[in-house]
Structure formats: structure tokens, C-alpha cells
Structure 1
Amino acid sequence: MVTVNVKWNRQVYAVDVDEEDSPEVFMSQLFSCTNVPPTRQTVIGFAGGKLRHDQVRGWRELGLRDGMTVLMLGTPEAGVAGADASRRVRDDLDGQEAGVDAEDASAGRGWRRQGLVNTGNTCYMNATVQCLAQVPELVQRSLRLTAERGGGASEDANWRLARAYGQLMRALFESAGEASSNADGFIPSSFLSALRATYPQFAQTNERGLFMQQDAEECLSQLLTSLAAATATAPSSSAPGGLEPNPIDDLFSIELQTVDTCQESADEPPVASVSRVRLLACHISRAVNHLHEGVREGLEESIQRHSGVLAREATWKRTSRIQRLPRYLNIHFVRFFWKPVEKVKAKILRKVTFPKRLDVYEFCTEELQAELKRERTAREARPADHTEEEAATGDVRTGMYELCAVLTHQGRTAEAGHYVAWVMQDAQWLKFDDDAVSQVTEEQVMSLCGGGDWHTAYICFYRAVSGHSPA
């Protein structure tokens, strides 16, 4: 896998290219980024002259190499402006996608993917899938998985789930659908079966034999775990978690530097460690009113652990800071807690606001803060057009993120209620309530902060941006 930087219309798109794919697949990826059909694309920068839609030569002859930069010429389809790669994914070759109506086309609002049918307490899964569909790099990687040859009967469960996810993405974005799709939305039966086979907890039934409601955060975590396992390289003793970085962790993994300091003995040496997480926790206490406060609480906590000096359990202060930032930052509001008497995971309804634009500078290590500060200062001095070219690359060097999706929960326990996805698509917010898709306002999305029985933000999905000015 190599990365090619494609300049088009004063923007730069970082496109992952599988050397086993044909140049035609590469041009379909550019269509996903820019809405310029392959028949209108002229790409300059590869060996042997212009790359056109009827290209027959392979990558070896074209001089493909990691990090190279090429220029694309071409105009997008009429009625739709060129789109940021981080804001949409289009189908490859035939220009067809589900969920398009005359009003959308005439208004120039672009294309909409369809919703997912709830087959019985599967809203947790539907909302998770729709939020992850806002990550074009993940969708493209998943589509490639569907074309890769597996090991047949020897395929492990992670591979089967990852490929089922890729097939679902193809159904959503190419209007191909599964055999069990209908006019109102896709029925993700194959993916659901693979999810339950890989993680049996999602197949739990109640006393009446009906499938039970599950936790969307757990679904997201398990799905990313399987996708990472399916794309991981060989084990490594030097890498955190024992695995070399994989495409999933490149997108979502937050690397934390943690130091535990004993509060009861100055003679006890601090204990340092490094870990990786794919969701950053936002703790909710009586002192937390905003996402920043909740994240800060999650990064600084009191724990009990053994002290060798005292020869007993002691109180330690655990302080964590981010030493590596991902392109997509997922923040989990820790709203559910176990009530032993009632034996349910109850919900904290407290209102906790979240920003459209998130600056994570204060949560980073001093070393990373220095890097972010240097990059922000350098960008201040760069010409405006140069900054615009960088805007589409999902640059993490500034520590600035923008909200691209919100997964909400309505109800008072984790085992009940309803999950919904609210996503930014083509500069507008859409609400994916299972198979019902509707347009909503930004004000409605920003009001999903809790304080009552209405939909409450449970996971916020943020995308890295190059700008650094506060919202």
C-alpha cells in the first residue's frame, strides 16, 4: 500500500493505492474525492505521460512510489461542486448511488446514502455503521477487502467480519445492496450475522426469544478491533499492544503516555507506560459541564495499586497525556454505570456540551505540544492558497479537529432506548434514524448534549483539520 498526493482545484488529496489494483480503481477513488468522473480525468505526474480513464499499463510501468505527488485536471459533474475527500465517498464507476431524489439534485446538495433497516433492536449497529461511513479512508480500505482473496474455511472470524463490513459499504455506496435490501433502506443481514458470530454478546435474547438491545460503544470498539486485526501486520514486541501499526490504528488510534505517582510515599519511583486506545473517554461528574472538562477528568484520576516501598496497596495519581494523534478522534461520553441493586446499566443524564471545533492541545504531552505550536506558528506565515491546498489532507499536526458525526442514545438504560446517527454530509447535517433519513440543522445537532430524555450525545466523531483558529 502506498500513498499518492493528488493536487486538484487548489486542494490536495492523500489517496491510498493498492499496487495490486488497476489504475482504473485509482481513478474511481479520485471520483470519490472530487466528483470528477474517470472519463473526464487527466492525471499528470506518472511515468510515460498522462494517465487517462482508458489506461492499460500497470503500476510498474507508471513508476508508482510512496509519497509521490501528481496533478489531476478535470471538471466535476454538472450541478455538484467539487467535494472534500473527508466529506463524501461516491460510487466507483457507474455514477449511481442510493437515496437521491429530484429535490436534492436540483438543489445541488449532492448524493445521499440510504439508511439501514432495524431488524429488531439493531439500532446500535445501524448508528455505528452510519457514523463510521463518514470516514472515506476506512470505506475505501473496506471495499478493497471485499476483493481480496481470503483463506476459505481457514479465514478467522475477524476476517469474515471485516469482509462483511466491506460488502455492506459497497451496498451503501454503490447501490448494489444485499439480496435482502428493499426500497426504503438496506437490510444488513450478512453483516449482522458476521457481527453476532464474531461477538456472541450481540446475539443475546430475552425470555421471549427476541434479540436484546446492545451498547453502541461496545459495537464500535469490537468492530474496530476486528478491522484492525484483519489488516494488522506481523506481531512486534516493540509496538504498543504487540502489533505494528495497521490502517485502522493509523486512522483512530490515540497513543497515551501514562505516569503513575504514589501519593503516600516520596520514595516510590513513578511508573511510566504507553498504551493505545481508539476512543478517548469523557468522564461525567457533578463538576463536568463541557467535553473538555470531562476529558481532563479522564486523563487525571486516582487509583489503587501496590507499593513496593510500603508493601501494601496505596493511593496513586495517574496522569495520561496524548503523544500521538489520529486522523479521526472518537470521544466517548461515559454515561452508563452499573446499578447493582437494579442490575442495570443506568444512564447519567447530565448536560455536557461539546464543540464544533475541538482543540486538543492541552491534553498532549509537552513534546507533542511543542510540535503543534511550531506547526501552528509556521502556518500563520504561509500564504492563504498554500494553506487551502493542505486543508483536505486530514493533517494532525495542528491538534485541531472538526465535528463530523454524533452517535446519540435516547433512554435511561443501556439495555433499552434508541440509538441514532447524526452526520455531516455535503455541508449539511443528516439524521440517520435506522432507515429514515432526514435533514436537520446544526443547532439541532449541537443541542444533543443531554439534560433530559431527548437524544443525548454518546460518541462524538471528530476529523483532523489543518486550521488552528478557535471556533
Structure 2
Amino acid sequence: MAPLAVKIKHAGKIHDLQLDPDQPPTIFKEAVYQVTGIPVDRMKVMVKGGTLKDDTDWRKVGPKEGQTFMVIGAAGELPKPPEKPIVFMEDMDDTSLAQALSLPVGLKNLGNTCYMNATLQAMRAIPELQIALQEGAPSGLPSALKSLYTQMSRTTESVVPGGFLASLRQAFPQFAERAQNSKAIGTMLAAYSQQDAEECWIQLTNSLKEVPGLPVSSSEASVSKKFIDQYLTGEMRRELKCDEAPEEPPTVSFEKVLKIECNISISTNYMLQGIKEALDQKIEKISPSLGRDALYTSTSRLSRLPSYLTVHMVRFAWRRDIARKAKIMRRVKFPTDFDALELVTEELKEKMAPLSTKLKDVEANRAERRTIRKRSAAVRGEASSSAPLAVPSQPSSTEDPQEMHVDSSLEAESVYRQRELKELEALVHPDLQADVGCSITGQYELIAIVTHKGAAADSGHYMGFVKKSAIQSATLSPSGAFLADDDDDWYKFDDDKVSIFPKDKLPTLEGGGEDSAAYVLLYKTKPLA
């Protein structure tokens, strides 16, 4: 559809603008900002049925040539001319365009490869992995992953991951299996089978074990640990105690783990509950003191937490009655903020507790400041929208100065963050400080999810969901507020179709039916700043 010549009305003035229905509403709002000075986050554009949202479909609005839109909001300083010459989008190459828009791209489905696409999109939420791959990716699958991620960052079009898929199937032939229930047609081979995204996640992680680790600082010459050991590997302490022979000394062992499992039973309602059930179990084994099989209590706790914690929702279980894997549909609630201190050893908890407690207090203060700033901005916006064109230099008698300037006593957010960072860094335990890639607080935020849709393990459809702030780096707004704190929406990756997924819809991924249910969850340790 060709651009439309429309008008906007604000504070008694009318401005002429171009509206392109093929572009998202954010582009039109930016044009409104250019002529009115109203920041986009404080702008209300009135359309049929309410206000213009960032995800509004222009087809439902039905804009017409010459139409006038009412705009409400407090105008600030008009945008200044750019320091560098403007380069129009049509004059940019794909690399410059991708960097300018910072839009994630989708991956083409090459025949039952949604399991791989969803896994790759979720793993792309780990920026340290991309840095490590750029600095030294071994040949084979790691090199293919580096090339794929580089290609995805330099284009705005969906990518065909053919090269990576070939490398994956060469490294792990299980992903080259063909469906037994489909027959070859002529010279064509049978279709490829659907695969398990969690198995793809683990195999891909294993293939990256030789990727060099990241140094503590730029001056460090060599790194002893590999990247996966640094950022994605935890350490599990397991204690076996004989229930029938209390005098028998317990057996303690340690193992590296790439994930923790959430078992799902008929009584599991929460992720933490399912994880605890997986960590504390009863098993039978031969007792050396009794000389026979005896019942043991197995208690497992994490003695190291990685920066990125993978949680596997065990939704597929073998059913003997039908001799195949079946999906557990039960709804299990998962948190977006996860406190993992209940899963660690007492020794590790003692090291983390002071900093973890302080970080929770700091986050509460940050949330309070955000609320104050939002309330103040809303008050100013409402006052400006109802004010006459000539703005008085002093508040009117009907205005409450305290309410109009509720954030006047607040400093720039960056000032608070620097002060808080110093207080938090003073509480970091030396052992954790020296362990590159570990979590120093045990406090996590959810940044990526791989979901499965359908009732069967060997069919259905996988999708990836990634938090927007995990892809777009945090920046400061002119007012000093951290934008990433307020942008909690997600991207939905349905193969090559990418869309915005509101944070309010995350509970729909908890399961309870054949629709998409969380299968693999990726948590990132919370930063101190």
C-alpha cells in the first residue's frame, strides 16, 4: 500500500505527515516525535477504538488519505540535527541495516527442523558464547555455529541454515534419521524424522566443549577452563545414605552437569517443586555393610552454579502400555525470577547469601524508583495534554507542585547504579570472584524458552521464545532510566516467522494441554549493575 498523506493535531497545531501502513506504528510515532517533540514513551495517538499501540495492525485502523489524528502528550525538547549525515534505509547494505534496526531474524524450516531452529534461537541469547566463538571456534560444528550466528547478525531476511544442519547431522547422525512411517516416492528418500529439542540442546552444548574460555580480563594471556565449563556447567554434589543401616558412612560424589531436571508428577504444580523431587530420591543398591540390596536416600545439591542455568522440563516419559514415549501435559508454573539458593550446598549458600540478600533489596529500590518516575511522567503528560497552548512559566494554582515533581529529588539512574554496584561488589566472595562464568548470587532471570506443541514426543512443533533485553543491549534513556528494565516483552521464533510476544502471555506456556508448553528454560544470573 502506498504511503498516505495525513495530518496530526497537537496543542492546537496541525502538522502534515506521511503514514506508511506497511510499516509498524513505531515508525509513525517516531515521525510524530520529530515534529512535536513528544517522546514516544509519553505519546498517545488516538485512533479508532482507543490509542495506537506498537503492535496495532494498520488494517484494523483503516487510515485514509487526509485523515487527522489527535496526539496527546507532553512535548520536550525537539530533536537536534544528527551529528553524522543521515543515511536512508534504501541506501544501506544488509549489514548496516541489521545493525541499525537490531531486529532478530528467523530460520527457515528445512523439513522437521523446528527443534534445531528453536534451540539455536534460545542459545543465541548467550552473548558470551558468540564472543567466544568469534575469538576461537574449533573446526566442525562450532565453526558452523559461528558462521550461522554471523550471518544472522548481518541480514534482515530469514536465514536458511543448510550448512549448519549438514554439520549437525554429520556430527550427530541421530538427527539424520528418516521417518519410518513415510515411504520414499520414486527417487526421493523418506522425510526426515522430528527430533527432540532437549537432545539437540545437550548435543550442541557437548560439541562446544572445546571452545576456548573467556579471560578474567583483557590482560590475561591464557585461560585454563573452556567456555562451556565456565558459563554453562554446574557441579552437583550427591550424597547416598543407607536408610536400613544408619551406621554405614554416607557416600559422597561430585559430577559436572549441563542442566537440572524438573520431574513432573501428578502433584507437581511448580518448577522448583519438580526440581527438588528430582534432586531428592529413593534408590535401591547393594549395601556393603548389609551384603544385600537396601534402600538409600540420594540427596543432590549444586556446589557450583553457572552464569547460565538450563532447566529441562521432563515432559516425555516412556509408557510400557503403548511402548512409546508420551507427553506429560500437566501445567507447571515457572518463575521469571528464580532464586536457586534452595538448590545449593550449605557451603555455597553461605558464600552467596550476603550478596544475594543485598541484591534483592537493591532490586526493590530500583523498582520503587521506576514507579516514581513513571508516575511523575504520567502526571506531567496529563497536565500538558489539558493545558492551553501558551504554557505559563509558573505552576497554576490548581497544580500540586509535589505531585507534578514527584521525582525531582531523584538523581539520574546511572548515579544510583554506580553507588549500588560498589556496595554489591564489596560483598562478592573471593572464591566466587575468581571463578569466571559462575553465578555469584544464585539469583536468575528467565531469558529463553524452547516449547513443544502437540501430544506426541516424535511429532508436534517446537518454537523458541527469547526475552527482548537478552538480544538488545541495555541502554540509557535521556532521563537516565534503564530502558531494559521496562522492556520485559519477548520475541517469538516460529521458524522464519518472528513476532513480539507480550510478557503477560508467558503463563500460556506453562502447559496444561496440547498447545505450546515450556520444555527447556534458560536462566541467566542477574547482573549487579
Q: Same fold by TM-score, threshold 0.5 exceeded?
A: yes
Match of 2:201 among 220, 232, 255: 220
1:286 matched to 2:318: no
- The aligned runs of 1:335-354 (5 Å cut-off) are 335-354=315-334
2:508 aligned partner: 447
What stretches of structure 1 of length at least 5 have no aligned partner?
1-77, 80-92, 151-158, 176-182, 234-243
**Aligned twin of 1:431:** 492
Q: 1:334 aligns with which of 314, 336, 340?
A: 314
Residues matched between the structures, number? 342
Q: Could you say what secondary structure the match of 2:96 adopts? A: coil
Residue of structure 2 aligned with 1:386, choices 404, 414, 418: 418
Paired residue for 1:264, among 237, 244, 255? 244
**Is 1:118 equivalent to 2:109 in the alignment?**
yes
Which of 184, 194, 200 is the equivalent residue of 2:173? 200
User: Does the 8 A contact of 1:224 with 1:248 survive in 2?
Assistant: yes
Alignment of 1:14-413 (within 5 A): 96=96, 98=98, 111-145=102-136, 159-175=139-155, 184-207=157-180, 208=183, 209-231=190-212, 245-377=225-357, 384-386=416-418, 389=421, 396-413=439-456
The 1:245/1:287 distance shift into structure 2, 3 A limit, reads farther
Q: Is the 8 A contact 2:230 2:438 kept in 1?
A: no
Q: SS of the residue aligned with 1:372? A: helix
Letter in 2 for 1:186: V
Distance (Å, rounded) in 1 between the aligned partners of 2:418 and 2:352: 18
**How much has 1:395 moved relative to structure 2?**
7.5
Gaps of 5+ in 2: 1-81, 84-92, 184-189, 215-223, 366-414, 426-435, 470-486
1: CA distance between counterparts of 2:452 and 2:192?
18
Query: Hey, what's the Cα distance between the residues in 2 that align with 1:225 and 1:466?
Result: 26
- Return the offset for 1:165: 0.8
Higher alpha-carbon Rg: 2
How far the C-alpha of 1:342 sits from its partner, in A, is: 2.6
| CA deviation after TM superposition for structure 1 residue 111, in Å | 1.3
Corresponding residue for residue 461 of structure 2: 418
Q: 1:338 Cα shift?
A: 1.0
Indicate if the aligned counterparts of 1:398 and 1:466 stay in contact, CA closer than 8 A: no
Q: What percentage of aligned pairs have identical amino acids?
A: 36
Three-state SS of the structure 2 residue aligned to 1:420 is: strand
C-alpha displacement of 1:141? 1.4
2: CA distance between counterparts of 1:145 and 1:431? 30
Specify the code of the residue in structure 2 equivalent to 1:385. Answer: R
Structure 1 runs of 4+ with >4 Å offset:
377-383, 387-395
The 1-side partners of 2:337 and 2:236 are apart by 22
Take 2:287 and 2:228, find their aligned partners in 1: how far apart are those partners? 37
Report the CA distance shift for 1:232/1:356 in structure 2 as closer, same or farther (over 3 A). closer
SS at match of 2:235: strand
CA distance in 2, matches of 1:373, 1:384: 22
CA displacement at 1:386 relative to structure 2: 3.1
Cα-to-partner distance string for 1:296-320 (whole Å, 9 max, x where unaligned): 1111011122211111222111101
The whole-number CA distance in structure 2 between the counterparts of 1:271 and 1:387 is 46
Distance change (3 Å), C-alpha of 1:332 and 1:95: same
RMSD, matched Cα: 3.0
Q: How far apart, CA to CA, are the structure 1 residues paired with 2:259 and 2:225?
A: 16
Any conservation in 2 of the 1:124–1:215 contact (CA below 8 Å)? Answer: yes
Can you list the C-alpha shifts for 1:374-423, whole angstroms capped at 9, x where unaligned? Answer: 22356569994336658999872221100111110001122100000011
Aligned partners of 1:216, 1:438: CA distance in 2, in Å? 21
Shift of 1:269: 1.6
State whether residues 211 and 226 of structure 2, in contact with CA within 8 Å, keep that contact through their aligned partners in structure 1: no
Say whether the 8 Å CA contact 1:97–1:113 is kept in structure 2.
no
3-state secondary structure, aligned to 1:438: strand
